[in-house]
Amino acid sequence: MRVGILGDLHIGAPQSKWRDAATLLRQLAPELDALILCGDTTEELNPYPETFSYMGRDRYALQAHIKQILEYFIKQISKVVNKVLFLRGNHDDRLLNHYPLVEDYAVLQSRFGRVVILHGHQTNLSKYGLKYGWGVQAGRELKAHLELEHYCGIKLAPTDYLILGHCHVAYSDTHAKVYSPGCWVGNYRNRNTGWYLLVDDEAPTASPRTFIRLIRRIGLTAHTTCDCKQPHQRKKTHSNTREVTEACPICGTVLTPTHCGKAGCTRPLRGEDTFSCKRHRPQFRFWE
């Protein structure tokens, strides 16, 4: 079994990288048995303020706009669309109903155990995200308190491998067996944008700790100045890596931050912003 998993495209949002996601889906499809989009594929329900303002605060115009882009997205992946499973997220609504492979969650039976994939909004993930930040700690808390998730539509077990969307933060915790593919909305300078998860239990080197891998495959161009005051412009293609950071080749300063830098805040950055977390962006927020 070889399955690719992408999360949170938010088709319709001005910052959505759905074109790059479509390209990636076409590239991955010949090598995989299936592809899963784990929720928030569209921006139809509860749109971000920037998306709503972009369409003149007209919900009917926004729905027509998203429908047009979604149809074009499906056309772009038409040759592989029979391999794509759409999972519902808290921003998805009726537009996804036009496509046959739409579910609330997915369960994969691997030789290392059950892999449960869901968006996460139907669990207590939002509560943990608001308390601990939207990084891996929220996923760990969810796995540690599965008895509270009786209403999420599926009975989760501690031995399950759990893959979640919703948080927009890319992480892989092999010990807690919880993973997130990040998102495809926002600036590529943020480390959480442009990732996917590969579930592959057929590889000769596959093990319970390595058969789920977090991979980034994008072309990233960074224009920045670090503490050594030297401007840098570098283009890099990331492939088959668990985690990627950009560093200054002169002084070694990390150029892609992973945590908020406002007022000593250590909350993980989500994919829609590069330098500050949602708590420190009063003028523009991404609402759950």
DSSP string of the chain, one letter each residue: -EEEEE----BTSTTB-HHHHHHHHHHHGGG-SEEEEES--B--SS--HHHHHHTTT-HHHHHHHHHHHHHHHHHHTTTTGGGEEEEP-TT--GGGGGSS-EESEEEEEETTEEEEEE-STTTTHHHHHHHH-SSHHHHHHHHHTGGG-TTSSS---TTSEEEE-SS--EEEETTTTEEEE-BSBS-TTSTTBSEEEEEES-STT--TTTSEEEEE--EEEEEEE-TT--EEEEEEE--S-S----B-TTT--BSS-SB--GGG--PBPPTT-SS--GGG-SSS----
Higher local confidence (pLDDT), 237 or 275: 275
Could you give the percent of the chain with pLDDT greater than 70? 78
Task: Identify the pLDDT of residue 60.
Answer: 84
Per-residue pLDDT at 161 exceeds 70: yes
- Tell me what the mean pLDDT of segment 13-37 comes to: 91
**pLDDT tens by residue, 200-238:** 998 888 999 999 999 987 653 333 445 555 554 443 434
- Tell me what the mean pLDDT of segment 80-89 comes to: 90
Task: Identify the pLDDT of residue 276.
Answer: 67
Q: For residue 247, count other CB atoms closer than 10 A to its CB.
A: 14
Query: In the structure encoding, which two tokens stand for residue 166, read together?
Result: 């919703």
Q: For residue 53, count other CB atoms closer than 10 A to its CB.
A: 12
Question: Which pTM does this prediction carry?
Answer: 0.79
- The residue extents of the domains of the chain are 2-217
The interaxial angle of helices 18-28 and 59-76, nearest 10 deg, is: 30
Which of 45-59, 81-95, 249-263, 267-281 is the least confident region?
Answer: 249-263
Chain mean pLDDT for the chain: 80
Query: In the structure encoding, which two tokens stand for residue 78, read together?
Result: 């038409």
Could you give the percent of the chain with pLDDT greater than 90? 36
Residue 70 to residue 84: CA distance in whole angstroms = 14
Q: Which class is domain 2-217?
A: alpha beta
Q: For residue 65, count other CB atoms closer than 10 A to its CB.
A: 18
